[in-house]
A and B are shown apart, each in its own frame.
Chain A
Amino acid sequence: MIYQDSKVLLEVRELCATVNGITILKGINLTVKSGEIHAIMGTNGSGKSTFAKVIAGHADYEITGGTVDFEGKNLLDLAPEERARAGIFLGFQYPIEIPGVANNQFLRLAYNTAQIQRNKDELDPLEFDDLVREKMKLLEMNPDFLDRSVNENFSGGEKKRNEILQMSLLDPRIAILDETDSGLDIDALRIVANGVNQLANKGNATILVTHYQRMLNYIVPDYVHVMESGRIVKTGGKELALDLEKHGYDWVNVEQPTTAGT
């Protein structure tokens, strides 16, 4: 939601990035304020996941130009774990499997790391168990997932729910959810969207990365951006997603590219 007294959380200016010498991001501009929900749409290969990973600090990508400020600080100076602790959360398009590491241990370590950051008490395994089971109920997740290895042999939809579970535990300032809707059936989509909506508040922001309009029926964005070849080529309100759905992505290209952001 757009608030009058909101403050800027994320400020991306002319961001360029390469991977293995190939330029992928070619000058991204984006401003995200507290309380807002943004959607980034675009065809496969347009650079959406690259953008998400660059913000999270993935080492494969080299920043070749531009700036990223997060709450007034230079985000690009921070290591990936420092960005996470500062409140940046990435819901992975393809969540990683970690055999041998129990999900509950992993979740508790991540949660306690965030608690330390917030100057709050860490939870022992029993206290944490109560908390995590409560959160899992909201996402209609089976508690069995706690004892299984992180994401190992989870179905696509289960992995996505596990991502949202982590988001709910970490309570980030800004969550970038990369194709969280893909691989979800309609019930799961509703549950996950419901979870995301419940977490959204005046102090945080959400960036939904998707190439379908579907999820935006459940999570209503304040802004929709269209990405094309590593640039944001169009920005509009929630109706832009419907236009895209109706006319396809080629429709954008006929129009004049605009400078994105608000």
Chain B
Amino acid sequence: MSVALQNLINKPYEHGFVTEIESDVAPKGLNEGTIRLISTKKNEPEWLLDFRLKSYQQWLKMEEPKWSNVKYPKIDFQAISYYSAPKEKKKLASMDEVDPELLRTFEKLGVPMHERAALAGVAVDVIFDSVSVATTYKEKLAKVGIIFGSISEAVHTHPELVKKYLGSVVPVGDNYYAALNSAVFTDGSFCYIPKGVKCPMDLSTYFRINTEESGQFERTLIIAEEGASVSYLEGCTAPRFDTNQLHAAVVELVAHDNADIKYSTVQNWYAGDEKGVGGIYNFVTKRGLAKGKNSRISWTQVETGSAITWKYPSCVLQGDNSVGEFYSVAVTNNYQQADTGTKMVHIGKNTRSTIVSKGISAGHSNNSYRGLVRVAPTATNARNFSQCDSMLIGDLCSANTFPYIQVRNNSAKVEHEASTSKIGEDQLFYFAQRGIGSEEAVSMIINGFCKDVFQQLPMEFAVEATNLLGLKLEGSVG
């Protein structure tokens, strides 16, 4: 491989800095005591403590899943600290009082806060390690009845909603990591769009993992009532550490009749160094329930970071005529491993799903697409279209596609297309012969390859995504 190409794909991680603020860290280890401590720290009601303890009991009985195409040393769950909050001196009355060190961190990350948020038209709920520090634009949103803030806060302000929906899409015993999350989750975003309301701006969360060896267990819950719609953006970065950090989030979405939820992620967590040391283990459960008729759940993700990614944002298409979409770009380099994809479960009549997955592997990395399309006997006229494309850069990486199709209704129509391609030296020479250097050439090829997914991203995210891939958007339309 040419030197320029090597340099391009080996760009150092830009967000590798640690913010020095005092953290309030729980002692390492996991037992009932830890869970009670988290619950007490957060001043939680009894029902939530019960939910956690029940989950913990489930988790103890479960086995770590072994079926994915990723390899890592056994995780010592007793060596992780389950709670880490930046120490606050007093309750903050306004954003101006937020720790300036913290604000600088967000600045480095490019999180739009203060008036910048207004200009960008983005409301940001910032998660710093485990506690939601600042929420902007809550008031403006509250005027139209939208509730947007941290889930811990919602537990106190809207307990009936949290209680009703928490665990309703991802049951506590759904899988090993979801059970763990249900037991120890510390914070996350909560978003409720009332009947008939179209959320006037994109809602956004920036996640950042700061404390070494602290697990992050966010819990996000988004509910769109009948006729409501919302576009939610999740951005993730983490500083670099040599030890691996565990991240096991759960995201639940509920869309009622005619409601529409679009959830976009740009994930850029530290992936470990070029030898494969360090990096985030990202074991995430994301699921949307298209509960009502004509509802729509759409996942768009650009996964560039983490040492290991294990993630299958899914749609349960329960309402008749409901729609599920999954658009994904997953990039792996060095020794990164990604096993990611989606599940589309068709239950209602005339349900439709679209899967577009683009995997790019470089270095020694391993990139797998794993997708399930299940059509239940009730899902008359269900339709699915899946397109899974892989691109290889260099000779040492690999790409796999594991499509699982289970159809139990004869009227269903399921289509799957797959392709594998490679950026060849001859392609780069062709560009070079027309005066175009390899950096621009690779960027053009990759942009072309990812076009169908990038088109789905909100504008500012699309820009960030292309930059993240070390690309410039030169000449790209839309």
Contacts and interface: CB of A to CB of B under 8 A. Distances in A.
B98 interface: no
A109 B436 contact: yes
Contacts of B448: 98-102, 149
Interface string A60-100: 10000000000000000001110011000110100110111
Contact of A110 (B424, B435, B445): B435
A170 B434 contact: yes
A92 B430 contact: yes
B427 interface: yes
B387 interface: no
B32 interface: no
Interface in B404-453: 421, 424-427, 429-437, 440, 444-445, 448-449, 451
A6 interface: no
A174 interface: no
B474 A98 contact: no
Interface stretch (A20-28, A39-47, A51-59, A253-261): A51-59
B389 to A, nearest CB: 9
Interface residues of A, number: 32
A219 to B, nearest CB: 21
Interface in A6-51: none
User: 5 smallest A-B Cβ distances: which pairs?
Assistant: A100-B448, A80-B432, A110-B434, A96-B430, A113-B435
Contacts of A100: 445, 448-449, 451
A100 B447 CA distance: 8
Contact of B435 (A58, A108, A125, A170): A170
B475 interface: yes
Contact of A109 (B429, B433, B449, B475): B475
B360 to A, nearest CB: 12
Nearest to A107: B434
A98 B430 contact: yes
Given A59-B425, A80-B432, 14 more contacts: A80-B433, A81-B432, A81-B433, A90-B433, A96-B426, A99-B448, A99-B449, A100-B445, A100-B451, A101-B444, A105-B444, A113-B434, A166-B434, A170-B434
A87 to B, nearest CB: 10
A153 interface: no
A110 B421 CA distance: 23
A113 B440 CA distance: 11
B476 interface: yes
Most buried by A among B421, B427, B475: B475
A53 B448 CA distance: 27
B433 A108 contact: no
A162 to B, nearest CB: 11
8 contacts: A81-B436, A84-B432, A84-B434, A98-B431, A100-B448, A101-B444, A101-B448, A114-B435
Interface of B: 2, 421, 424-427, 429-437, 440, 444-445, 448-449, 451, 474-477
B435 A117 contact: yes
A98 B429 CA distance: 12
B5 to A, nearest CB: 11
A101 B476 CA distance: 10
A110 B436 contact: yes
B435 A85 contact: yes
Contacts of A58: 429
A145 interface: no
A114 B431 CA distance: 13
Contacts of A90: 433
A154 interface: no
B440 A109 contact: yes
B135 to A, nearest CB: 40
A49 to B, nearest CB: 13
A231 B449 CA distance: 43
Contacts of B430: 92, 95-96, 98
A102 B448 CA distance: 8
Most buried by B among A96, A108, A166: A96
Nearest to B440: A109
Most buried by A among B421, B436, B437, B445: B436
Interface in A103-132: 105-106, 108-110, 113-114, 117, 125
A106 B435 contact: no
Given A98-B445, A110-B434, A59 B476 contact: no
Contacts of A108: 475
Nearest to A88: B433
B435 A105 contact: no
A207 to B, nearest CB: 15
B41 to A, nearest CB: 50
A84 B475 contact: no
A99 B448 CA distance: 8
A247 to B, nearest CB: 35
A105 B432 contact: no
A9 B431 CA distance: 23
A84 B435 contact: yes
Contacts of A109: 436, 440, 444, 474-475
Given A59-B2, A96-B430, A81 B437 contact: yes
A129 B449 CA distance: 23
Contacts of A84: 432-435
A98 B477 CA distance: 18
A105 B429 contact: no
A121 to B, nearest CB: 16
Contact of A96 (B2, B427, B436): B427
Contacts of B474: 109
A149 B444 CA distance: 12
Nearest to A113: B435
Contacts of B437: 81
B427 A98 contact: yes
A56 B433 contact: yes
A60 to B, nearest CB: 8
Nearest to A53: B429
Contacts of B425: 59-60
A100 B450 CA distance: 9
A60 B436 CA distance: 18
